[in-house]
Chain A
Amino acid sequence: MTNVIEQLGARAILRVQEMGRMLLFVLSACAWLVRPPFRFHQIMKQLHFIGYKSVFVVVLTAGFTGMVLALQGYYSLRKFGSEGLLGSAVALSMIRELGPVLAALMVTARAGSAMTAEIGIMRITEQIDALDTMAINPMQYLIAPKLVAGVIGVPLLVAIFDVVGIYGGSLVGVDLLGVSEGAYWNSIESAVEWKDIYGGILKSISFGLIISWICCYKGFYTRQSAEGLGSATTEAVVLSSVLILVWDYFLTSVLL
């Protein structure tokens, strides 16, 4: 019995230590971010990787999400004779929830996993140590630009996701199912408020930070083996995805 309690206690201590290390990691990256030299080139390079290169997958996901949402919404609303509200149903779902969450999950899968693998390989092959020996802080050179790119890139992708999703909904609702085009767009205009937009932006900024933070952290502290790198990548994707969903719930409950 004592052993079981000891083991539980040891695990709890390890978890708390890990959380503390994660917090120090992101604080350290933020501290290095505001110290010269400022690495605009690195930030642009990461924005290109996290943002631009994710556009295709985000557009594809957004288009089909909007289309299926319109399809489901149309048959549900038709029962109440409210097909005209389809536009607002699609737009509000997209802007408030699906846009930020699905775009963030897609970025995690595409860019987050690559971030962990890249930093993990740099750790294993001593490239991070090499930066240290050149008196170049890896937090400043490697991690901080990725955090900034995540915080800027994900909201931009979410904006694209929302727009494409709403147009996807229009394609199915208006062009295929015959909902009035005026009713579709008018219902969006009357239902969507600025606070919905703000909420979506706030969510996407925090999701961008979560993705970069977790994925960089897992790569930076990867174990020195191929198996360790594989585990780190899996853990990064799973933990980021779960945290996005959990944080989404808390933010939604505060914003509503």
Chain B
Amino acid sequence: MIKLIGVEKKLGGQPVLQGVDLSIPVGKLTTIIGRSGEGKSVLLKHMIGLMQPDRGEVWVGDVEISRLSGTRLNDVRKRFAMLFQGAALFDSLSVFENVAFPLREKLRMKGSAVTKRVEEKLGEVGLAGMGHKFPAELSGGMRKRAGLARALVMEPEIILFDEPTTGLDPLMAKSIHDLIVTMQRRFGFTAVMVSHEIPEIFGISDWVAILRKGKIALMAPAAEFQRTTDPEIHEFISVGGTVALPGSLVG
């Protein structure tokens, strides 16, 4: 569904992406890992057209989006939702209004239909009865849940997660991971997640890709990823420990 071919990007004259080739499996949870500053978030933003590559192609389905703009790009974006690092909730709107926002603005839905759908999504992410609160009144974890509810409310085909557990304590991080996995399994959307949470991501992802020196150094099913013989990748994923997976070789 999403395919990047030879994507190159420089920021401030510095090369960040240096020929990324990546194909995201449909209906699976794919996690992109890598060191800080490698360009993982930049890569994610290319997938939804928030950034354009200097070279290369970005395909979403059968549409090449790297040179699209305006209405044509918006048509492609209707298939997406994105959960940002800080959740990017609108400060001036309550949680309810934030989740209702895309329904009202894009689908022109009104009244009880909006209320029903928003409350259903808030319930699914564990924020039932919190709709009246404003983002400033929420904890980090609650904000991410509200952001996830907003991402889910349009029932998109693809959801991008940009470091969804950054700044959360381990327990809260685990609950957000569990929530993402539960939602992905229930609704079957294609999920692409950027994360630093090693080894937790091996337990929740279907596929894992590592970005190194501006390229995808390895992409494999999570179970196989930990068996890599590449010393640099092995060192990187071993720092946080390993997680036991059915059929995988650990240690």
- Chain A residues in the interface with B (C-beta under 8 A): 37, 121-122, 125-127, 129-130, 132-137, 141
Contacts A127-B90, A134-B77 known; 9 new A-B pairs at CB < 8 A: A126-B85, A126-B86, A130-B90, A133-B50, A134-B81, A134-B106, A134-B154, A135-B78, A141-B105
Partner of B102, one of A121, A132, A134: A134
Contacts of A141 on B, CB cut-off 8 Å?
A: 105
Interface residues of B in 158-200 (CB under 8 A from A): 160
Q: Does B230 contact A (CB under 8 A)?
A: no
CB distance from B79 to the nearest CB of A (A): 9
CB distance from A43 to the nearest CB of B (A): 15
Q: CB distance A135 to B85 under 8 Å? A: no
- Convert B64-106 into 0s and 1s, putting 1 for each residue whose CB lies closer than 8 angstroms to a CB of A: 0000001000110110111011101111000000000110011
Contacts of B108 on A, CB cut-off 8 Å?
A: 37
Contacts of A137 on B, CB cut-off 8 Å?
A: 70, 74
Q: Does B2 contact A (CB under 8 A)?
A: no
Contacts of B106 on A, CB cut-off 8 Å?
A: 134-136
What range describes how many residues of B lie at the interface?
20 to 34
Q: CB distance A127 to B88 under 8 Å? A: yes
Give the CA-CA distance A122 to B90 in the complex, in Å: 8
Closest 9 CB pairs of A and B: A135-B74, A130-B88, A135-B77, A126-B88, A133-B82, A126-B84, A134-B102, A135-B78, A127-B88
- By beta carbon, the residue of chain A nearest B80 is A133
- Chain B residues in the interface with A (C-beta under 8 A): 45, 48-50, 70, 74-75, 77-78, 80-82, 84-86, 88-91, 101-102, 105-106, 108, 154, 160
- By beta carbon, the residue of chain B nearest A130 is B88
CB distance from A220 to the nearest CB of B (A): 14
Contacts of B102 on A, CB cut-off 8 Å?
A: 134, 136
Contacts of B80 on A, CB cut-off 8 Å?
A: 133
CB distance from A127 to the nearest CB of B (A): 5
- By beta carbon, the residue of chain A nearest B162 is A126
Give the CA-CA distance A251 to B49 in the complex, in Å: 42
- By beta carbon, the residue of chain B nearest A141 is B105
Contacts of B90 on A, CB cut-off 8 Å?
A: 122, 127, 130
Q: Could you list 21 examples of A-B contacts with CB < 8 Å?
A: A121-B91, A122-B90, A125-B86, A125-B88, A126-B84, A126-B86, A127-B89, A127-B91, A129-B84, A130-B88, A132-B48, A132-B50, A133-B50, A133-B80, A134-B77, A134-B102, A135-B74, A136-B102, A136-B105, A136-B106, A141-B105
Contacts of B50 on A, CB cut-off 8 Å?
A: 129, 132-133
Contacts of A125 on B, CB cut-off 8 Å?
A: 86, 88, 91
Partner of B77, one of A37, A121, A127, A133: A133
Contacts of B74 on A, CB cut-off 8 Å?
A: 135, 137
CB distance from A177 to the nearest CB of B (A): 48
Contacts of A127 on B, CB cut-off 8 Å?
A: 88-91
Partner of B105, one of A121, A129, A134: A134
Give the CA-CA distance A125 to B92 in the complex, in Å: 13
CB distance from B33 to the nearest CB of A (A): 21
Q: CB distance B81 to A133 under 8 Å? A: yes
Give the CA-CA distance A121 to B136 in the complex, in Å: 14
Partner of B82, one of A121, A122, A130: A130
